[in-house]
Structure formats: structure tokens, C-alpha cells
Structure 1
Amino acid sequence: MARKLTDSVTFRRGVTVNGRLFLPPMLTSSGTADGRATEDTLQYYNARSKTAGMLITEYHYVSENGGPSGGGLFGQQLGIYDNHHLESIKSLATTMKQDGAKAILQINHGGLRSNGFGAEHGYAFGPSAIHFPKLDYQVLELTTDQIHSIIRDFGLATKRAIDAGFDGVEIHGANHYLLQQFMSTYSNRRTDEWGGSLTNRMRFPLEVTKEVLRVVNQYAPKDFIVGYRISPEELHQDGSGYTIADSNQLVKELNKLKLDYLHVSIFGHYYDGPKGSKLSYTQIYRESLDDETKLLAVGGVFSAEAALDAVNHYMDMVGMARGSLIDPLFGYKVANDQADEIIYEISPEQLKQTYWTKGLLDSFSLPNNGLPPLPNGDSIKK
């Protein structure tokens, strides 16, 4: 039977989400210097409280040395490394859940990409002490004690998300942040139990996931959602990084931990796959997951037709990232038989309806910003 975008989806632990659409995590660059949400942040999420049945926050850094990553003139990445963030994330959860959506908080450590910490201290931490030409600060190797401390920080962040009223957490293991850095032979050149073989390189992301699940099993409601975000490949010209076969082995190990979902981060299109393969990334992972683990992905979804193709051939739920940036009511229009009214292109007129933060406006209006392009994006460039 063909799937519909309005189908409800029930996760392993029993919670049901309305519809097969979700809001993916996207940096708004709107936090305070110490990582708390601002009115700008809340306005952005308020405008998207109806866009899908499940909303995932932008990444929150779990350790003080793990962020901010990204950010800009008008705001920073959000944090969850201290109890003083509780009021911030409570307000975020309330705003996101006001129209019945499930709210998921994404937890992250930037590792060597903690550029805010690096700019302030002259160094950041990564799996190995390596010179990275694009960074203007040193990268120091994490000690074993620091690694265990960060693992505990992921657990503490999970407890704060539970206390704040979120319906779940997503572990950020993608986009070149710390969990992926441990997986990659480019950034991880350790010779101890945390590096070298694939088994050792997988150890850190798996230990983080186990700690998150331990805290969830101890403190959260039984239907609390736990997901993991992954980048399928990291391929460098010198042959370092990791392959789809490597990440698929990690997926098989994650599957043993019985997560609610796997979220695949795809820079291109949702149907993309490894070079030379007839299968997409999601189709490869599907074969490694049990039936109760839902498969989520993003990648170039700007229309209801594309979203429908995605959930019928490639995944269980599909995220509209740039699509929901352009039209915050994307999912609401789908659910109310108004899909033909979805706005697919940005314009100076539509910009007024997006409720972008100042940080997002700055990012997308600057030329050569390094972000995936928006349809008609040149119309709002400075």
C-alpha cells in the first residue's frame, strides 16, 4: 500500500508522530554568547511549530569545550552544557510543542570544529593533535579522562532535555563534528583503544549512545525518543576518512542498541548513494536496521511530490530543511490539503514570512556563504 505524508508514525518506544514529515536541525546563529536561546530563536521556532509532526532543534553543545561551532555576527550556537541553560531549553520545548508536534533536542560536541572555543582559547580538542590548515587555532588531543568526561556530558545533556520537557534527543554523529571525527582516519590517528581499527574508531560514538540510553532508561518517560544522525561517507583525496562500508558497520552496531531512528545527513538529494552503487545510502542502511528502527533523511525536498517519493521509496520520514526555511507552513499545508499553496522559492516578499533569525538572514544573504543554495536565492543576496 502506498504511503501518505499524513500517515502517523509510531516509534519503538511507543510514541506516535502525526505525519511522515519532520523539521531537520538547522543552525539559526541566534544564541547568546553562553549558548542560551533569544527571542530571535523562539520566534523562528514559533513560526515552524506547525510545519511537521516532529521538530528537531539545531545542535546544542554538551561540553563547555565543545562549542560554539558556527555562529556569526548576530548570534551563536545554542548550548546545553550547564544547568543555567535549563530555562532556555524549557522555553524552546514549550514553543516547539505548542501545536502538538513532538520536540527533539539534538546534542553535539564540536570537537576540533568548536571554532568559538578555539577563537577564545587559541586551541580546541579533537581525537588527535593534527595541524588543520583551515583552522586558525591549535587542535589538542583529548586525553582518556577527557573522553570519558565528554561521554558523561552527553548523559547530563540528555537529563536536562528530559527535565525541560523534550520528547526525545538526537545524537549528532554527522557533519564532521566530534563523533564523526573519531570515526574518520583523517582526524583520528590515535593508537590507543579509541583509534586505529574500525572497532576502536567506532568506540566513542557507541559509548556516547550507550550513556544517552542509560540516562533515558533511568529518568525519561517510557516513550522518550532516541535517534542518531550519521553522515554516510567521508572521503579525502589521500584515501583517509571512512567509507559507506565503515559507516554501515557502525549502523549495524547502533541497531543492536535499539534506537528509535537513524537520521541520514545527505548534502545532495535524498535518493543519492555511493559512487558506483545502484542503491541509495538509505536503502543500504535499511538492510542493516530492524523493522522497529525508523529511517529518516533529508536532501533537496522542496515539494510535496518529492517528499512523497522519498517516503515511498527511500525512508520512513523525510525532512524539509531548506523547504521549511522558505515556507514555515510546509507540513501544515500538506496536512490541510493545501500542498499546491506551498512556496518553493525564496524572494524578498516571501522573506517577510520566513521569520528567519538575524543570523540566518546574514548567512543566506551573503555571497559565497558555503551553504546549499536556495531556489531563487540570488534575489535576496546583498
Structure 2
Amino acid sequence: MRDHWGNCVTHFDEEVEGFIAEYFGQSDRKCFLVAAAGFDPRSPIIPNLLSKTLGSNLHAVFVREERGENNEEVLRTSADQNEEELRKTISNSRVERITIFDPADNAPIGGNRVAAVLSGIQLPEGTTDLVLDMSALSMGIAFPAARILLDIAERSDGLNLHLMIASNPELDVSIVGEPGEKVQSVRGFAGNAGRDVDIPKARIWLPQLAQKRRGALERIKASLTDLYKICPILPFPARDPRRADALIEEFGDEIRGDWAVDSRDFMYVSERNPLDSFRSIEMLRRRYENTVKDIFDPQLILSPVGSKVMAAGAMMAAIKYELTVQYVEVLRYEIDETAAKAPKMDIVHVWLDGPIYKGYAQQ
């Protein structure tokens, strides 16, 4: 099971549009989409692409992440506009408003709420494909949603699961989130950190470095004890060839100070291909476990706080190997108008599960 993930069928940019037109254009295709209905301008991109081909054969649930009155008025207005556009684009759809924080104690509950919604979903009769659009979903929502949808797909006969992402690293930088105080595991991604073993634990933390995410990563680091090593993940190759260098400079105090990162411990993964992130984490895990076998209990802890494409690969690794994903939920967002403007959107498709992988054997 899931042995094919290192070699999933993938498409990029214009290839994605061609795939949607050819594959979803078949008359027997009936698709159920889970996507965001938020302020992020990427919200309508994938739904629009699918709707043009599938028409009435497309059904959808759109998640509206509610953070109370914390967000700026302009962001709520943008979210309202995107929600209205999505309702018009896909008539067979509904919007689920997911409360991210418990009003009683401000504890993050969004993951549990979205898991409850999707676990109880009734797919339209004849559904052949599930699509999770991660473009504008927060990690605390996207990761639990992926796990639930994968479980549905794997328990069903003939059901396909696709991940799709409209990615733009420059836009990510312009969306600034204020991290909350509580560090926790993403719902469904506690990993094996709590298992009881007789040998000492050896933890490696893999923080995904991203611009303007120092606050979140500092909180996560402060919550982790007895770390054996820290291996920061950097985007390379990237659309901006100097993005990795800029991140090393931005996190220089942490890298040289409390984190004590050896230059050999940086991980470089593609900003464009989620399978590169998956394979890199998979390889590190395999080598690490072989090295400390029977001496230490190896544990990888992931914190993918930046690019959704890189995060998708980390999510796949976390699901396959039961790894821990630590994060800090965002209290509120604002737009940094001084950030560099986004030149273009990158579109990514990963065919995660389905009958095409039946009988796959890892070579």
C-alpha cells in the first residue's frame, strides 16, 4: 500500500489543464471536490478549471475557515467575493464554515471540525474521483482532509484521489499570519511520538524554512526537547534561484545559535514538485533508521509551514510513515502590500491513489 507514492503520476502547469480536459472530459467521470472558500486569490483557480470540463458532473464542498473577527475587513470582503464566485461556478456545492478556534478557551479545533464533516460525507452516486485542492487551505485543515479522503479512496473500489495545488511562493510571502501560542500536532498526525519503547528516543526536527515564519518555528522549536539534530528544509531548485540563500540569511541567528545546524544537514527540495519533498524525507528516514537501529528509537518531526507544494510532499511522507507534524495555528492574517508581486501561478497535480496503481510493486 502506498508504495507507488515515490513515482505518482504528476502534471505541471499546462499539463494539468491538458490532463483535466482529457481525463475529466470523459463522459463517465463524476468528481467530488474539496477546496477553500477564503480570501486567498488562489481559491477559485482549480474549481474553475474543473468546472469548465465537468459541468454538472462536478460536486463540491468549500471550506470557509472562520477565525472570529480577527482578520481585516478587506480579507473578509475578499472571502465573501470568492465564496459567491465559487457558488456560481459550481452549482452542486455547499460551503462549510469551519471554526478554527474554540471560543471558550481559544484552543485550535479546526482539524477536528473538518474531519467530522468529511467523515460523514455522502458522495453523489457514481462518483469516480475525489479532488483535494490544497491551494488556499491552511495546513491544519488540508492535512486532516487529505487523510480522511485517502481513507475513503482506499476503502472504495475504483475511486481515485487527486491532489491539486495552485502555487505561488511570492504570494505566500505577502500573506502574513500571526501565530498562536499553542504548539500541537496536526489532527491525525501525532505520529509515533507517544509510543513506549525501552531504548532512548532520537528526534530529528525538519522545519520547512519560509519567509516571515520565524515566529511560528521559534514557538515549535521551544516546545521540542531532546532533539538529536535539526535538518532545515530549503526550496531548491526554486523560481527565485536565491530564495534558499535568502532564507539562510533570514534564519541565520537560529541556524548558527540555538539550532546549531551543521551545513551538511540542510535538505534541499524542489519548490515545484511535491514528490521531491516526499522522496527526500523518505530517504532520510530510511538512512536514519538503519543507522540507529536497536540503539535509539528514531523519530522525525515535520513542520511544513511554507510552500504548499513542499508541504504536500511532507504530508505524504507523514501519512506513509506515521510521522509527527507539529504546527502553530494562525490567529489572524494580513496582507503585506510591500511584498514582491507574484509573476505567475504554478499548477500541480498529483494522482495520489486509484485503480491505476493496482498491483504496483516497488522496484
Q: TM-score, structure 2 length as denominator? A: 0.32
Larger relative contact order, structure 1 or 2 (CA cutoff 8 Å, min sep 6): 2
Q: Select the structure that is richer in strand.
A: 2
Q: TM-score, structure 1 length as denominator? A: 0.30
